[in-house]
Structure 1
Amino acid sequence: MTPPDTSPDEDAVPDGAEVRADAVLTRLGLTTPRRRDVALAGATAVVSVAVVLVGLADPALAVVLGGGPLTVSAVLMLLVLQSGVLVVRRTRPVLCLAVTIALQVVQAVVLPTAGLRGPAPVVAAYTCGTRLPARRALTLTGAAALVEAVAFVAPTGATGVGAVLTQLASSVITYLAASVVGGWIATRRHVAELARWRAAEALEAQRARADAAVGAERTRVARELHDIAAHHLAAMVVQASVAERLVDRDPDAARRTITEIRTQGRATLHDLRLVVGALRERGGGVPEEGAPMPGLATLERLVADAGPLVGLEVVGAPRELSPVADVSVYRVAQEALSNARDHAPGARVTVRVRHGETATVLEVGNGPGDAPAVEDAPGRGLGLIGMRERAELIGADLEVGPSPDGGWRVRLELPRDAA
C-alpha cells in the first residue's frame, strides 16, 4: 500500500498545531499550497513595509536608516519584491532563496547604513530546509549568509575584524537556524506520516486476518454441511429401499415410510438452507471422510481433552437438536475453551449446559489466569467472529464479556423454536 496523502500545507508545524492551523486556513479559503504561499507573500510584504514605516516615525531610528524619500521608497519596493518571490518557494526553493538574497544585496547597496534584513530571505532559507536534503540546504543557506554579510560590510567600508565577524555571525546564525528548523519540522512530518501509514497498514492487515478467519470458519461450516447432508440422505436412501420392498406386501407400511422420507427431506432442506444462507460468500474445503459428527453428545470428550482444570455440568434432560444447531453449539463451546486456554492459562474453566423448557443454554466461564496470556497464538484472537457466525446461523443469542471475578464468560442461548 502507498502512504496516505499529506495535507496541503507541507511546511506547517506538525501534530495538533498543524491540524488547527490547517483548519483556520481552510476556513479562510486558503485550500491549496499556491493560495497559501500567495497569502504568506502578502503578509510578509505588509509586515516588512510596516516595520520600516514605524522605524521612520521614530527620529532616532530615522537617522540610523538615513537616505531620502527616494531611497526609502526604493527600499520599500525591494522588500515588497522580496516578499513576492515567496509565491514560488515550494516549487523552486533554490531560485526563491537566490532571488531574495540578490535583492538583499541590492538593498544593501541602496541603503548601506541601515543593514536591513527582510523576513523573506529567512522564510526562503526555512523552506530550503523543509524541501531539500539537509546537506544541500545547509550549503545553500551558508552561501547565502556569506553573500549577505559581504553585501552589508563592503559598502560601509568597515575594516575591523570584529565588525566583519559580527555581521558574518549574524547572517550565518539567522539563515542556518532557519534551515535547521525547517529540516527538523520536515523530519517530524515524515515520522508522523510514516506512523500514520504503518497504522493504516496494521488496520488493513487486521481486516485481512478477520476475512481469513471468517473464510476458514465458513470452510469448516461447509465441511459440516457435507456431513449433515450425508447423514440425512443416507437415512432417506435406506427408508426408500424399505418402502420399495413394502409397496406390494404392505401398502400402509410403505405409505408411512414414504411419509417419513418426505419429513426427513423437508428437515434436510431446512438445514441446508440455514447453512447455505450463512455462506454468503464463496467458500471451499474438502470434507473429512469418516470423521464423527460433533455435537453435544461429544461435548464430554471435548471437556476431558481440555485438561483437569475444565469441568462440565449438564442440567435438565437433553433434547434433540437439529444437526446444524447441535454442531454449532459444540463449535461455540470448542472456541470458548480455546480462548480460555490462550488468554487465561492456568484458570479453572466451567462448561454448563442447561436444557430448559424454552431454550438450551451453553455457558463457558473462566477465572483470571495465573500465567501470562499467549501472545499471537496461531489462529487465535478472532474466535468471536466464528461464534457470532454460528449464533446467527441457528438464530441463537450470544453474549460475551468479562465476568465479575476478572475472568471471561461466553453464553449462548438457543430458543426451542429455533433449534
Structure 2
Amino acid sequence: MKVWSEGPARLGVRTAAGRDALAAALLILLSTARLLPAVHNGTLSALAPGVVAIGFTSAAADLATIALRRIRPVLALAAASVIPLAAMLLPARPALIGVGAVVCSYTVACLLPQVRATVAIVVCGAVHASGGVFATLAGGGHGGLLTFWGVLPGDLAGMAAAVAAAYLLPATAGFAVQARRAGAARAAASIARDREERARTAVAEERARIARELHDIAAHDLSAIVVQAGAADRLLDRDPAAARATLRAIRSQGRDTLAALRALVGLMRDSEPGAADGRAPALTGVEETVRRFRTTGMDVEVSATGEPRPLPVTTGLAVSRLVREALTNARRHAPGAKVSVTTTFGEAGFAVAVRNTRPDRAARPTGADGSDGGYGLLGMRERVTHAGGALTVGPQPDGGWLVSASFPAAMPASSPASSPPEHA
C-alpha cells in the first residue's frame, strides 16, 4: 500500500482519486495492447471494424468506472454492471471486460454503510446475473462476467459462480477492511480519551502541588515577617535606624511574598503568561536545589553565561521547578550519570538547560510495572508555559537526556509591574 501511494506521488499524483484515474488509464492501455496484435495478425478480420470499435469502447468504459469508484461508488458499480451486459451481445469478448465490477464492488463495501452497500451490491449482482441468463437463453454466444473465469456458453452454473466471484467475494473483502478500519478508529479514540484523562489528572495533581507550595510560601514568609515586625517594635525606641531598616526589609519581603502568591494563584487560574508582578533573584532557587542534590551524591555541574539579573517571579518559580524535576528524573532514570545545569542570560531572554549523560548503570524500577507513573514533565510544561516560555525535552545522541526552557526578555526593573501597589 505504501508503494502504491509513493509511486504515483513521484509522478505528481497525490490524491486517491488521482491514483484511481491512473490505474484506470493503465488498464485501458493494457486492453488496447491486447487488441492491437489481434488486429495486426488478422484475428479479428472476420469482424466489422465497427464491432471491434464498440468492443474496445465497452472495455474502456468498464475500466473507466475504476476512476469514479471513490467519487460516486454506487454509480460506478451500476455502470460496471450494465456495460458487460451490452458487451455480451458482441460476437467477440473485449479484453478485461468485467474487471470494473470487481473493483467497484470492493469499493462500495469499503466506503458505504453496511446495509446500503449490501443492497447496492445485491441489486447490481442480480441485474447482471439476470441479464446474463436472459442473453444465454436468447441464444447469446457468451456467458459470465470475467474473461478469465472461463464460463462456457450456456453454462448457467458457471455464470452464477462468475457473479459470486465478481460481486460477493470482493464485497466480503471490502466489509472486512471496513470492519478493521472501524476497530482501529475505536481503538484510537479510546487511546485519545485515556491520554486526555491522564493529562487532566496530571494537571490536577500539579495544581495540588502548587497549592501546597502556596501554603509553604505563606507559612514561611509570613512567619518571617511576623518575627521581623516584633524585632522592629523592640528596636523602635532604642535604635530607630535599625527599626527603619527592619521595616524596609519587611516591606521588601512582603512584596516578594505577595508576588509569589499572585504567581501561584495565577497559575492555578490559567492566567495569561508573564502577568505576575514582582521580581526574584536570578539563580537563588537553582543554587539551593543543586546544593541539596549534591548532598545526595549526584555529580552536578553548574555553569552560567551572561550577566545575571533578577527575573520575574513566575520565571524564577518555573526555573526552580524545572531544575528540581529534571535533577529528580536524572537521579531516578540515569543513576551515576553526570549532570550539568546551564543558565544563559541574553538580550533576547533567559534560558536554562539540564543535561545528563548516559547512565553508568540500569535504573531501578520504582513501580510494580517498572514505571514511576509520574507526570513531572506535564507539570514543568504548564509552569514554563505560564511564565511565557517554551519547553524542550528529549534524548540526546550520546544516550543522555536534555530538559531545556527559554523565556522572553525580562521586564525592566523600573516597570510598574515590578512592584505591587503599596495598598495591595
Looking at structure 2, the residues matched to 240 and 55 of structure 1 have their Cα atoms a distance apart, in angstroms, of 110
Is 1:123 matched with 2:100? Answer: yes
Report the counterpart of residue 220 of structure 1 in structure 2.
209
Is 1:108 matched with 2:85? Answer: no
Looking at structure 1, the residues matched to 72 and 45 of structure 2 have their Cα atoms a distance apart, in angstroms, of 36
**RMSD in angstroms over aligned alpha carbons?**
6.1
Q: Is the 8 A contact 1:126 1:182 kept in 2?
A: no
Looking at structure 2, the residues matched to 107 and 223 of structure 1 have their Cα atoms a distance apart, in angstroms, of 82
Q: Per the alignment, do residues 206 and 104 of structure 1 end up closer, same or farther by CA in structure 2, a change over 3 Å counting? A: closer
Q: Is the 8 A contact 1:123 1:178 kept in 2?
A: no
Identity %: 28
Report the counterpart of residue 13 of structure 2 in structure 1.
26
The AA in structure 1 aligned to 2:216 is: D
Q: Is the 8 A contact 2:62 2:98 kept in 1?
A: yes
Looking at structure 1, the residues matched to 188 and 154 of structure 2 have their Cα atoms a distance apart, in angstroms, of 50
Q: Per the alignment, do residues 154 and 377 of structure 1 end up closer, same or farther by CA in structure 2, a change over 3 Å counting? A: same
Q: Is the 8 A contact 1:349 1:367 kept in 2?
A: yes
Q: Report how far residue 127 of structure 1 moved.
A: 0.9
Report the counterpart of residue 383 of structure 1 in structure 2.
376
SS in 1 for 2:368: coil
Report the counterpart of residue 144 of structure 1 in structure 2.
128
Looking at structure 2, the residues matched to 331 and 74 of structure 1 have their Cα atoms a distance apart, in angstroms, of 76
Residue number among 239, 245, 265 corresponding to 2:254 in the alignment:
265
SS in 1 for 2:139: helix
Q: Is the 8 A contact 2:229 2:247 kept in 1?
A: yes
Residue number among 32, 38, 42 corresponding to 1:55 in the alignment:
38
Looking at structure 1, the residues matched to 370 and 104 of structure 2 have their Cα atoms a distance apart, in angstroms, of 45
Q: Report how far residue 176 of structure 1 moved.
A: 1.2
Q: Is the 8 A contact 2:152 2:158 kept in 1?
A: no
Looking at structure 2, the residues matched to 72 and 232 of structure 1 have their Cα atoms a distance apart, in angstroms, of 98
Q: Report how far residue 217 of structure 1 moved.
A: 2.2
Looking at structure 1, the residues matched to 241 and 317 of structure 2 have their Cα atoms a distance apart, in angstroms, of 33
Q: Per the alignment, do residues 266 and 105 of structure 1 end up closer, same or farther by CA in structure 2, a change over 3 Å counting? A: closer
CA deviations over 1:9-45 (Å, ceiling 9, x no partner)? xxxxx44423544664635xxx474x76666666655
Q: Per the alignment, do residues 228 and 244 of structure 1 end up closer, same or farther by CA in structure 2, a change over 3 Å counting? A: same
The AA in structure 2 aligned to 1:375 is: D
Q: Per the alignment, do residues 47 and 263 of structure 1 end up closer, same or farther by CA in structure 2, a change over 3 Å counting? A: closer
Q: Report how far residue 231 of structure 1 moved.
A: 2.2
Q: Is the 8 A contact 1:153 1:167 kept in 2?
A: no
Report matched runs for 1:10-409 at 5 Å.
Answer: 14-21=1-8, 24=11, 26=13, 31=15, 33=17, 47-48=30-31, 51-63=34-46, 66=47, 68-82=48-62, 89-90=69-70, 93=73, 96-109=76-89, 111=90, 113-114=91-92, 116-119=93-96, 121-132=98-109, 133=114, 137=121, 140-141=124-125, 144-145=128-129, 147-148=131-132, 151=135, 154-155=138-139, 163-164=152-153, 169=158, 172-173=161-162, 176=165, 180-181=169-170, 183-184=172-173, 187-188=176-177, 191=180, 195=184, 198-199=187-188, 202=191, 205-206=194-195, 209-210=198-199, 212-244=201-233, 246-248=235-237, 250-265=239-254, 267-268=256-257, 271=260, 281-282=270-271, 312=296, 367-368=361-362, 374-375=368-369, 379-380=373-374, 382-386=375-379
CA deviations over 1:303-352 (Å, ceiling 9, x no partner)? 9xxxxxxx94599xxxxxxxx999997997799779988x79xxx999x9
Looking at structure 1, the residues matched to 326 and 236 of structure 2 have their Cα atoms a distance apart, in angstroms, of 48
- In the alignment of these two chains, the number of paired residues is 350
Q: Report how far residue 131 of structure 1 moved.
A: 1.0
Q: Is the 8 A contact 2:74 2:108 kept in 1?
A: no
Q: Report how far residue 262 of structure 1 moved.
A: 3.6
Looking at structure 1, the residues matched to 320 and 61 of structure 2 have their Cα atoms a distance apart, in angstroms, of 79
Q: Is the 8 A contact 2:70 2:107 kept in 1?
A: no
Uncovered stretches (5+) of structure 1, i.e. residues with no partner: 1-13, 284-295, 304-310, 316-323, 353-360, 413-419
Comparing both chains, which one has the higher relative contact order based on Cα–Cα distances under 8 Å and sequence gaps of 6 or more? 1
Looking at structure 1, the residues matched to 202 and 134 of structure 2 have their Cα atoms a distance apart, in angstroms, of 70
Looking at structure 2, the residues matched to 231 and 147 of structure 1 have their Cα atoms a distance apart, in angstroms, of 92
Query: Given the two structures, how large is their TM-score scaled by the length of structure 1?
Result: 0.55
CA deviations over 1:138-163 (Å, ceiling 9, x no partner)? 774476356436635753579xxx94
SS in 1 for 2:270: coil
Q: Report how far residue 255 of structure 1 moved.
A: 2.8
Q: Report how far residue 223 of structure 1 moved.
A: 2.6
Q: Is the 8 A contact 1:79 1:118 kept in 2?
A: yes
Query: Given the two structures, how large is their TM-score scaled by the length of structure 2?
Result: 0.54
The AA in structure 1 aligned to 2:106 is: G
Q: Per the alignment, do residues 336 and 121 of structure 1 end up closer, same or farther by CA in structure 2, a change over 3 Å counting? A: same
Q: Per the alignment, do residues 92 and 258 of structure 1 end up closer, same or farther by CA in structure 2, a change over 3 Å counting? A: closer
